[in-house]
Amino acid sequence: MEKLTNLVYKNPPEGPREGGVAPHGGALVNRLVQADPREYAHLPALELSERGYADLELIATGVYSPLEGFLGEADYRSVVERLRLASGLPWSLPITLSVPKAEARRYRGTVRLTRGGETVGLLEVAEQYEPDRHREALEVYRTTDPAHPGVAALLAQGEVNLAGRVSLFRLDRGEFPRYHFTPRETRALFRGWRTVVAFQTRNPIHRAHEYLHKVALEHLDGLFLNPLVGATKADDVPARVRMRAYEVLLERYYPPDRVVLGVYPAAMRYAGPREAILHAISRKNYGCTHFIVGRDHAGVGSYYGPYEAQEIFEAFRPEEIGIEILKFEHTFYCRTCGSIVSARTCPHDREHHLILSGTRVRELLRSGAPLPPEFTRPEVAEVLRAAYQTI
């Protein structure tokens, strides 16, 4: 194996911030290194997909602590079957790197990882194994239907998984450098807050989201708005549009000293309940003490029940996950109540409610019709309208 004698890690691992929450597994992983990529040009190269690069970054910066690399077979099988690493620590999704079987023999020892042909990091291959993709689909996505985007991505992967520790040479802050933070950086930003609630969405923000944020802020010190900006389905609203919607909303309607906006550079897997657990653990590693899980978190189509992403947390003791889950029911605008409500607070029948599906919202935007102000703020509606007129 290539000896990585020239790698110098940029920061030591970090434990909990004062008054905050410990990283998952107890220490914040750091696999960011100082190295000259040219020194590794002789190594076999493995080109990463968009999701593969996202996973590399999330491992290297500690968002996926305690992972230090792509899962070996024992961890892989334990995660698929038990929602735990082989050590017993809760972990819900297999973070793996696959190659075609015919190419696997090329990847022994140390492999340089490339993105767009540029060397971005290294993988120390400790193990190769063949995953059970059928079992993985059934357990993780609860379906083998190739129409499910997560299953489709799984079936398109190579037949052999490469496992081992990774190193990342440089953090690419991508399209949103102002908002692209590592867990070490968010923990510094949160200092002074004893409690921080995280919120994630891959959808445009609307009034029901705002309601959840502000209910949480009534009880907690800070809010971490952490929209996912990695790879999503082709028909999802682009990340740049969603981020602009957040910006215009924060300019007028949120207390600036109690909110941090930062991107979550993960790729979407659409694994519903299982993905909700990974999202919670990731926000714990960012330094959050609470995480909002609403209706159909990380879902797609009708593959999961509307509240299964909340119910799955009952399979663990609260201290095992280590971040408090705030469970909200579906919220909507009631014309008679004159406010955002839920079935727990509104006595009126459905005909009093303004509920727009994502499909209906996209139809209105494509036609140029206005979105009701009861559904979303006018400033956000204008961002969406302008974007859809150019898509």
Q: Known catalytic residues?
A: 202-203
Give me the DSSP letters along 184-239: HHHHHHTTT-S-EEEE--SS---HHHHHHHHHHHTTSSEEEE--B-S---TTSPPH
Task: Pick the closest to residue 13 from 70, 71, 72, 60 (CA basis).
Answer: 60
CA distance 379 to 210: 13
Dmax of the chain from CA atoms?
Answer: 69
CA distance 212 to 219: 12
The alpha-carbon radius of gyration of the chain (Å, integer) is 21
Kind of pairing between the strands at 196-199 and 290-293: parallel
Q: Is the dihedral of CA 284, 288, 290, 291 positive or negative?
A: negative
Task: Give yes or no for a contact between 263 and 180, defined as CB atoms under 8 angstroms apart.
Answer: yes
Task: Pick the closest to residue 344 from 289, 375, 307, 302 (CA basis).
Answer: 307
Dig out the tokens for 373 from the structure: 């102000």
Q: Is 117 helix (H, G, I), strand (E, B) or coil?
A: coil
Task: Give yes or no for a contact between 387 and 241, defined as CB atoms under 8 angstroms apart.
Answer: yes
Task: Give yes or no for a contact between 228 and 268, defined as CB atoms under 8 angstroms apart.
Answer: yes
Where b means 16+ CB within 10 Å and e means fewer, 88-99 reads: eebbbbbbbbbb
CA distance 328 to 349: 20
Classify residue 22 by its DSSP letter.
Answer: P
- Type and span of the H or E element at 324: strand 324-327
